[in-house]
Structure 1
Amino acid sequence: MGLRERKKQATRRALQDAAVRLTLERGLEKVTVEEIAAEADVSTRTFFNYFATKEEALLGDVPGTPDEEARREFVVGGPTGDFVEDLITVLITSLVSTDDLATRREHMRLRKQLMEREPQLVRGVLARFHNVETELAAAIAERTGASPEDDHPLLVAAAAMAVMRHTMRRLHFSETEETADVRAKIQAAFRHLGEAYGPYASTD
């Protein structure tokens, strides 16, 4: 990644952090875009180069779209060859894949607080989940050879995103939680689904 791109990412992150910090201190209705920009030491114009609204800045990048490299590997049958385990790997990249896991945990923890204090933000989060679900269904269709409009990839992606939402609610984003803990929670959720719906697998 070049210097220009790193600077852009740093500015984006500073704006997101400022938006979260001010909103947790004052409440969503009492924070303006101008104040967020000033807190991040940039102009209001710069803010709008990155985000259309203060709500968009608050939502951050979670859930993120599947990591492109992880997606490509999944589509061709990797990384393990086990469909569910490979699907979990893709889901994890939308949650905790980062070079700085401690920072990522803190961002997730603060945004969990935001959702609890400012429930009006939930609609935006659900819209992001829908976008990720659509991309995930397309990847599943590619891997299985199904049409993107078939029920199978659409239902599997919908179930996977339900598991992801459930997992995010269950996580504490504490220093003791590692990527392996996230994987274990997702595995457990899929296992519960299998136990609940397993009897229908052999029926038409």
Structure 2
Amino acid sequence: MSDDSALTLRARRRLETETAIRDAALELFLEQGPQETTADQIAALAGVSTRTFFRYFDTKESAALPGLGWVQDRFEASAASIHGARDVIPVLNRLFLDAVTDLEETESIRTRKFFRLLSTDAVMREAAGARDAYLEQWLVQRLSELLPEEDGLELRLLVAAGVSQSRTVWAYWYELDQDEDSATVTLSQLFSRASQILARGIR
């Protein structure tokens, strides 16, 4: 087996283990609540040791949250196209639109479970808020490094607007998804519509 093949196999196994842990956490949280669930229980349901669980996640709550690695990777891939503050919103829009499109295709069931959990548990809403705050901080830091001459306040506001837009679209999509009388609409459709609304408002 070549080094590249071995690396690919390790990456695939790591992803499979991470996914199994996430699924187990969501299942147990929805069944018995985060407060009544332990990391040991999550690990057992996922078929891994508790030690392995903590190699992947710092807390049991973080195991149920969508990962941020794909957002960060996509941002880095787009970094070369950011030449000024005017480029920030288009790049963030594309970043989150690509992300939600991927999730629609591969993780729609897990996404619904996650939002059902958020709608019923304050601890998980707090954890999700902390995750969003971390993402904002990371994006601001990277943009400050890429655009050192730009106004720091402007960069913060642009990032906050992008993350808030994404959060609002997700929540609205879940509300529509639970309403049997509402027309079927996809996350990507809502995100595109939100971008158009904000663009009109900015003008």
Shared fold (TM-score greater than 0.5)?
yes
RMSD across aligned positions (CA): 3.0
Cα offset, 1:92, TM superposition: 2.3
Cα offset, 1:159, TM superposition: 0.8
Counterpart pick for 1:43 among 13, 28, 49: 49
Task: Output aligned runs, 1:111-126, within 5 Å.
Answer: 111-126=114-129
Write the deviation string for residues 127-181 of structure 1: whole angstroms up to 9, x where unpaired: 22122223333555567x454662221111111111111111012496x65xxx4
- How far apart, in 1, do the equivalents of 2:89 and 2:35 lie? 42
Quote the residue 1:152 is aligned against: 154
Counterpart pick for 1:170 among 169, 172, 178: 172
Quote the residue 2:38 is aligned against: 32
SS of residue in 2 equivalent to 1:66:
helix
Counterpart pick for 1:19 among 19, 22, 25: 25
Q: Which structure 1 residue ranges, 5 or more long, are not aligned?
A: 199-204
CA gap of 1:86–1:52, structure 2 versus 1, over 3 A, is closer
CA gap of 1:127–1:7, structure 2 versus 1, over 3 A, is same
- How far apart, in 2, do the equivalents of 1:116 and 1:124 lie? 13
CA gap of 1:103–1:188, structure 2 versus 1, over 3 A, is closer
Matched-pair contact (CA < 8 Å) for 1:88–1:183: no
Counterpart pick for 1:182 among 164, 187, 194: 187
Q: Which structure 2 residue ranges, 5 or more long, are not aligned?
A: 1-6, 178-183
Matched-pair contact (CA < 8 Å) for 1:19–1:58: yes
Matched residues, number: 188
Matched-pair contact (CA < 8 Å) for 1:146–1:153: no
- How far apart, in 2, do the equivalents of 1:45 and 1:140 lie? 36
How many percent of aligned residue pairs carry the same amino acid? 26
TM-score of the superposed pair, with normalisation by structure 1: 0.76
Q: Letter of the aligned partner of 1:127 in structure 2?
A: A
Quote the residue 1:201 is aligned against: none
- How far apart, in 2, do the equivalents of 1:6 and 1:105 lie? 20
Matched-pair contact (CA < 8 Å) for 1:20–1:110: yes
Counterpart pick for 1:6 among 8, 12, 16: 12
CA gap of 1:42–1:82, structure 2 versus 1, over 3 A, is closer
